[in-house]
């Protein structure tokens, strides 16, 4: 029997604070006003870089290399194969099938985090790519910068979130107009956007905006008469 443990001793991915006027969920909070202005209105100086990506609507999962082994994890940090949910067991199986890619990508004690889109949560996708979209490469608690992240993951054929904008700050309104059509085959409206703020070649902070018109988990079995809707299956 596989023990239900946290191999990292913690969650594999933390929560992301919201921009002003973003729809909050249970336990969510807004980012500081000063940070929101840096992302959407005015940078501090030439050392700031703003990256905006389409926010994906699935299950936040991760793959870590620990003691030379590749481990599939859910967001809480537990092994995916011990999860009671079919989508996470499917993720574990998919990671096993792609173990060589992850082993070659990751150094010891690194983890790659992303959105597992196999099962519909609040958005149905007609995926034109594999179901795991990676968005963060983390060593211990430090995120890799966007440029270096791409240099690491793209040679192994991993999918990254649709890039909405890179450069100077961009208002939420203008950014949302750029995701009227999803880069990942969303049938429903795109859930929102992610802002990544980098400074002096380091990730300074990350924030997000969620549309008020989106309903969390409306396609999950507990809200859909017990029916699972799959965007993808092995």
Whole-model pTM: value is: 0.96
pLDDT means per 10 residues in the chain (234 residues)?
82 97 93 97 96 98 98 98 97 98 98 98 97 96 97 98 98 97 97 98 98 95 94 86
Cα gap 25→15, rounded to integer Å? 11
Is residue 149 one of the residues assigned to a domain? yes
Is residue 134 one of the residues assigned to a domain? yes
SS3 of residue 155 by DSSP = helix
Cα gap 71→14, rounded to integer Å? 18
Q: What is the per-residue pLDDT for 2? A: 63
Is residue 177 one of the residues assigned to a domain? yes
Is residue 124 one of the residues assigned to a domain? yes
Domain count for the chain, please give it.
1
185: alpha, beta or left? (left if phi > 0; alpha if psi -120 to 50): left
Is residue 10 one of the residues assigned to a domain? no
Kindly report the CATH number assigned to the domain that includes residue 209.
Answer: 3.30.470.30
Q: What is the per-residue pLDDT for 233? A: 80
Q: What is the per-residue pLDDT for 5? A: 87
Q: What is the per-residue pLDDT for 114? A: 98
Domain that holds residue 168: 33-223
Is residue 21 one of the residues assigned to a domain? no
109-128: b (≥16 Cβ within 10 Å) or e: ebbbbbbbbbbbbbbbbeee
Cα 97 to Cα 32, 37, 93, 100, 201, distances in angstroms: 42, 43, 6, 8, 34
């Amino acid at each position: 029997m596989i023990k239900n443990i946290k191999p990292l001793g913690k969650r594999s991915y933390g929560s992301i604070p919201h921009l002003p006027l973003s729809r909050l969920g249970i336990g969510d909070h807004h980012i500081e006003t000063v940070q929101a202005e840096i992302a959407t209105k005015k940078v501090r100086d030439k050392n700031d870089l703003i990256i905006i990506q389409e926010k994906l609507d699935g299950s936040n999962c991760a793959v870590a290399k620990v003691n030379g082994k590749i481990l599939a994890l859910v967001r809480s940090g537990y092994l995916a194969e011990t999860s009671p949910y079919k989508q996470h067991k499917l993720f574990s199986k998919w990671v096993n099938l792609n173990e060589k890619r992850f082993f070659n990508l990751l150094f010891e004690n690194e983890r790659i985090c992303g959105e597992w889109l196999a099962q519909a949560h609040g958005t149905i996708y007609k995926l034109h790519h594999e179901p795991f979209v990676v968005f963060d490469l983390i060593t211990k608690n430090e995120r890799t910068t966007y440029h270096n992240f791409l240099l690491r993951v793209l040679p192994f054929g991993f999918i990254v979130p649709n890039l909405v904008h890179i450069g100077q700050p961009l208002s939420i309104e203008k950014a949302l107009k750029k995701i009227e059509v999803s880069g990942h085959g969303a049938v429903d409206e795109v859930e929102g956007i992610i802002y990544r703020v980098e400074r002096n070649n380091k990730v300074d902070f990350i924030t997000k905006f969620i549309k008020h018109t989106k309903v969390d988990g409306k396609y999950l079995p507990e809200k859909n008469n017990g029916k699972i809707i799959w965007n993808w299956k092995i």
